């Protein structure tokens, strides 16, 4: 009788562990952006014409990173968050070494996808160069740098 009870307990524990593993898997968000646009030298232009985050199991995130991943010209190129976003701050308003802008929540809080989608639509690119090269922007939820030439982070 004691062996049967132990076996039943193990079965329940195994089932609970298995159920817990399947319920805890996080589904990664999908980020989509559009905005293949012409740029006039020394002006400002939004980096996207539309941006969306789709996530089946979350509504917020720790941080979002926007980087000039192709054609970055150190000292001439800049990304700027325009507008007012009370729940978002940029801890390093601009990282000139990486060509990256970081958006995080105030006080270490997570930022809602709704706020991030609006903020990304208000990010501006500008260059002081008279002949800027073509640019590609990477928008990621991790802080790894994306390299379009290899398709890897």
CA–CA dist 125, 80 (Å, integer): 6
Q: Order the strands of the 63-70 sheet from edge to edge.
A: 88-89, 100-105, 63-70, 136-140
- Write out pLDDT tens, residues 42-78: 999 999 999 999 999 999 999 999 999 999 999 999 9
Q: Give the pLDDT score at 92.
A: 75
Contact between 146 and 70 (Cβ < 8 Å): no
The model's pTM is: 0.77
- How many CB atoms neighbour CB 51 within 10 A? 22
List strand residue ranges (DSSP E) for the chain, in order: 30-34, 44-46, 50-54, 60-61, 63-70, 77-81, 88-89, 100-105, 111-112, 123-127, 136-140
CA–CA dist 29, 23 (Å, integer): 17
Q: Give the pLDDT score at 22.
A: 47
Tell me the average pLDDT of the chain: 82
- Write out pLDDT tens, residues 67-117: 999 999 999 999 999 999 999 988 877 899 999 999 999 998 999 999 999
């Amino acid at each position: 009788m004691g062996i049967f009870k132990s076996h039943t307990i193990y079965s329940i524990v195994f089932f609970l562990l298995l159920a817990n593993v399947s319920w805890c898997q996080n589904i990664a968000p999908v980020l989509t952006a559009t905005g293949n646009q012409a740029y006039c030298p020394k002006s400002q232009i939004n980096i996207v014409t539309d941006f969306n985050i789709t996530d089946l199991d979350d509504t917020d995130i720790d941080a979002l990173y926007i980087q000039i991943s192709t054609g970055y010209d150190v000292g001439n190129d800049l990304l700027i968050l325009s507008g007012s976003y009370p729940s978002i701050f940029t801890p390093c308003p601009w990282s000139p070494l990486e060509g990256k802008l970081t958006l995080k929540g105030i006080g270490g809080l997570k930022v809602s996808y709704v706020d991030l989608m609006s903020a990304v639509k208000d990010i501006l690119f500008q260059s002081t160069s008279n002949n800027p090269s073509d640019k590609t922007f990477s928008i990621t939820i991790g802080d790894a740098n994306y390299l379009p030439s290899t398709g890897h982070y």
